[in-house]
Amino acid sequence: MKRIITYGTFDLLHHGHINILKRAKEMGDYLIVGLSSDEFNASKGKGAYHSYAERKMILEAIKYVDEVIPENTWDQKISDIKNNEVDIFVMGSDWEGKFDELTDHCEVIYLPRTDGISTSKIKTDLLNKR
């Protein structure tokens, strides 16, 4: 069984999120999503519209996602990879090169983002419509 892991906030779920989850799942048999906790987001100076519990519930309803685990720190990725016997770490291409140190523990793949959509764009568009 090939196990995949990806991470993110997954707030204001959109088709770009679904695309990356679908493509990640196609690489293996079991997809784990490390979901940024509310506390971790706050430590990064980020806020989410939905709480961790709400975002987790939404992700768990997506057919490509097999398991959701909390992401509480930047440094937990190696232990998550080891503890979950992960074969492939997947992130969007905007993170290219940022997680290359994980190649000692699993394959690292950066997927292209879906053009024209992001949570930041949605938030900006909503603000501009006021």
Is 44 tagged catalytic? yes
Two structure tokens written together for 72? 């509480």
Determine which one of 2, 46, 82, 98 is catalytic.
46
- The string of DSSP letters for 4-37 reads EEEEE---S--HHHHHHHHHHHTTSSEEEEEEEP
Is-catalytic flag, 63? no
One of 2, 44, 82, 98 is an active-site residue; which one? 44
Give the Å distances, CA to CA, from 20 to 91, 92, 114: 8, 7, 8
**Tokens read off for 60:** 């768990």
The residues carrying an active-site annotation are: 44, 46
